């Protein structure tokens, strides 16, 4: 299925593609509901981090749209690790909860690893549990981290081939860079990961057929850093000098040189949430 943007075929319209995916999920959830089955996601937010509040609200809105039931747990900033572990344990055992999401970052008194480890891998819709990561790395079925999964889906639905392409990923986080590399390998791409210790990074990015930028620096990549005709996927969610939302790539600067590019906002961001909904839908089969 091709979903090129009719207004500008260069732009990979994540907002529109994510809406299509959410509509497909809504149809499937509605069919399940007619068969008497419900799909439910528990969302846990600890504290009042404003960015996290926005993310959680958007996840709840997507649940409303798709017909997935969302259970919200807003816990105070001073929640102890033990209290959070107890809640996860309770949700692990509830048959009416299919997926569990703990919004990150967590307050400093809580050890993130211990929390993520406690989520039942069968309900790990974020794909952060070591079991999910292990399954992904050896090519077994399982939950995949939503942002890289969303990027693969964006490329597939835009009819952009990955097989044999030179893919350069900038950033090596557990949530984006590393799973992205594994997913690209699965698509038969030749993969390079760049990070803070990489020498001559701009030389490497300028040879990428597909560049995935997840460096977290506003407008870091300029036209000299991208190959003529490259596909640019911008994972950045940064603020420019005027406090305006922007990506890791200087969109206006590279625009004429690239064949495709994701905008910020409206590119990768909405896809992350669509893939979360997809993971929650699949959780009923796991």
Residue among 81 and 253 whose Cβ is closer to ligand GUN: 81
Range in contact with ligand GUN (rule: CB under 6 A) among 60-68, 97-105, 186-194, 232-240: 97-105
Active-site annotation holds for 109: no
Structure tokens at 189: 């791409």
Q: Does 180 bind ligand GUN (CB under 6 A)?
A: no
CB of 3 to ligand GUN, least distance (A): 23
The b/e string for 117-128 (b: 16+ C-beta within 10 A; e otherwise) is: ebbbbbbbbbbb
Among 126, 153, 209, 248, binds ligand GUN (CB under 6 A): 126
d(CA 47, CA 275): 25
CB neighbour list of residue 164: distance below 8 Å, 6 or more residues apart: 188, 189, 190
Using CB under 6 A as the binding rule, whether residue 101 contacts ligand GUN is answered as yes
Number of residues that make up the chain: 286
What is the smallest separation between the CB atom of 190 and ligand GUN, expressed in angstroms? 27
In whole angstroms, the minimum distance from the beta carbon of 104 to ligand GUN comes to 4
Out of 126, 225, 234, 250, the active site residue is 126
60 is catalytic: no
* Three-class secondary structure of residue 41 per DSSP: strand
CA–CA distance, 205 with 35 (Å, rounded to integer): 50
By CB under 6 A, the residues from 130 to 149 that bind ligand GUN are: 146
Q: For residue 188, what is the DSSP state?
A: T
Contact flag: residue 278 with ligand GUN (CB under 6 A): no
- The angle subtended at Cα 189 by Cα 186 and Cα 193, nearest 5°, is 95
Site of interaction with ligand GUN (CB under 6 A): 101-104, 126, 146, 272
């Amino acid at each position: 299925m091709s979903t090129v943007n009719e207004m500008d075929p260069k732009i990979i319209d994540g907002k529109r593609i994510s809406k299509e995916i959410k509509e497909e999920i809504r149809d499937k959830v509605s069919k399940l509901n007619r068969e008497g089955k419900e799909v439910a996601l528990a969302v846990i937010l600890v504290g009042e981090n404003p960015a996290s509040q926005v993310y959680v609200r958007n996840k709840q809105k997507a649940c409303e749209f798709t017909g997935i039931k969302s259970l919200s747990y807003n816990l105070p900033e001073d929640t102890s690790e033990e209290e959070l572990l107890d809640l996860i344990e309770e949700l692990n055992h509830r048959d009416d909860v299919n997926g569990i999401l703990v919004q990150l970052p967590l307050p400093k008194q809580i050890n993130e690893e211990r929390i993520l480890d406690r989520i039942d891998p069968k309900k790990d819709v974020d794909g952060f549990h070591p079991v999910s990561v292990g399954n992904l790395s050896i090519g077994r079925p399982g939950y995949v981290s939503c942002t890289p999964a969303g990027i693969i889906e964006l490329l597939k639905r835009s009819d952009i081939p990955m097989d044999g392409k030179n893919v350069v990923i900038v950033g090596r986080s557990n949530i984006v860079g590393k799973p992205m590399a594994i997913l690209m390998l699965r698509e038969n791409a030749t993969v390079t990961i760049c990070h803070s210790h990489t020498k001559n990074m701009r030389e490497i990015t300028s040879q990428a057929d597909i560049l995935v930028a997840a460096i977290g620096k506003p407008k870091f990549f300029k036209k000299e850093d991208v190959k003529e005709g490259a596909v640019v996927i911008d994972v950045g969610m940064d603020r420019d000098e005027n406090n305006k939302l922007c990506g890791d790539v200087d969109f206006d600067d590279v625009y004429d040189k690239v064949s495709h590019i994701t905008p910020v906002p409206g590119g990768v961001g909405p896809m992350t949430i669509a893939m979360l909904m997809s993971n929650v839908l699949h959780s009923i089969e796991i």
